[in-house]
Amino acid sequence: MTQPTWPEVLSAAVSGTDLTVSQAAWAMRQVMRGEATGAQLGGLLMALRAKGESVAEVIGFRDAILDAAVPLSVDPNVLDIVGTGGDRYGTVNISSTASIIVAATGIPVVKHGNRAVSSKAGASDVLSELGIDLRLSPEAVARVLDEAGITFAWAAAFHPGFKHAAPVRAELGVPTAFNFLGPLVNPARAEANAVGVASLDVVPIITGVFRTRGATALVFRGEDGLDELTTTGYSRIWQITNGDMHEFDIHPRDLGMPTATIDDLLGGSPAENAATLRRTLAGESGPVRDVVLLNAAAGIVAYRLSQDPAQADRNMIQRLVEARDAAAAAIDEGLATAKLDAWVAASGRAGQE
């Protein structure tokens, strides 16, 4: 089979023609190996941005990135709670806090994330502040999961090829396909996913990829633009299982929860957000607890769905209420704080081995 070429790939993209999966995968392999020039990558990213990225293109990119990733040898029967970023609000670390709470309910979690791009404190910034060692070997990352039931796969460590794209992305200064690839390339290849999406335009791409690969996912977006389930008003959920997709609109009052304002959810520096996270796990009440519980509930629902596809036939609000109550119990019984402490301890031991 004849290999694609950059003139062929760029000509197709510039003309508004969607790339095939194989063309997209070839191009991304070139990028991950450092064999694409800045002009080639920049031209491709902007051409795709102008015409709109297709599901096939993102599948090709995803496959090439995962093929080039540092392997993570864990059971894929785990959950990832992650957001695309890009909502520009700078909230507290909702998905990171929710991940710890979900793990405290007994669900194995492999969180995938990176340094902050659109906020003051990304997942890895805050986890590092909490004492989680980000620079563990893949074997150590897996051991931490075995010991603590939760671990963190730092994108920079597991996707070294990303460094070849970083200068071009910085020079372009506009959103590209890389902005929404993060939630799709967890090296654990998690079977259960709870994914927040900031841009409505990206939802068909994210859901399309999950539907094509037969994964289980809850994809969601707050109508306020948060890449989370929001407590400021309505959110939309897209449930994907066995290639099928169903949409739901939810409001905090549906779960008997109070509404909040965006200002109630804003965060600060990594140190400030880490302190907020600890207070929330310790049982502090208020808007942050509410939004974290709602997003933890989404993670629990996604994992339960991956274990039992028949859950898809049950009422979504009822499932979220049950999961929210389980998450609240994990906090109130001290399990969430204990889970964080166990994670920090396991990470510290792994880093010394």
**pLDDT tens-digit readout, 188-203:** 999 999 999 999 999 9
Question: Within 13 Å and on the Cβ side, how many CA atoms surround 22?
Answer: 6
Is 72 within 8 Å of 145 (Cβ atoms)?
Answer: no
pLDDT surpasses 70 at 1: no
Residue 117 pLDDT: 46
Is 116 within 8 Å of 143 (Cβ atoms)?
Answer: no
- Per-position DSSP letters for 159-197, written without gaps between them: -GGGGGTHHHHHHH-S--THHHHGGG--TT--SEEEEE-
pLDDT surpasses 80 at 116: no
The neighbour count for residue 199, using CB atoms within 10 Å, is: 17
| pLDDT single digits (tens) 227-276 | 999 999 999 999 999 999 999 999 999 999 999 999 999 999 999 999 99
- d(CA 32, CA 37) in angstroms, rounded, equals 11
Among the listed ranges 81-90, 278-287, 291-300, 344-353, which one has the minimum average pLDDT value?
81-90
Residues 6 or more apart whose CB falls under 8 angstroms from that of 131 comprise: 344, 347, 348
- d(CA 175, CA 168) in angstroms, rounded, equals 12
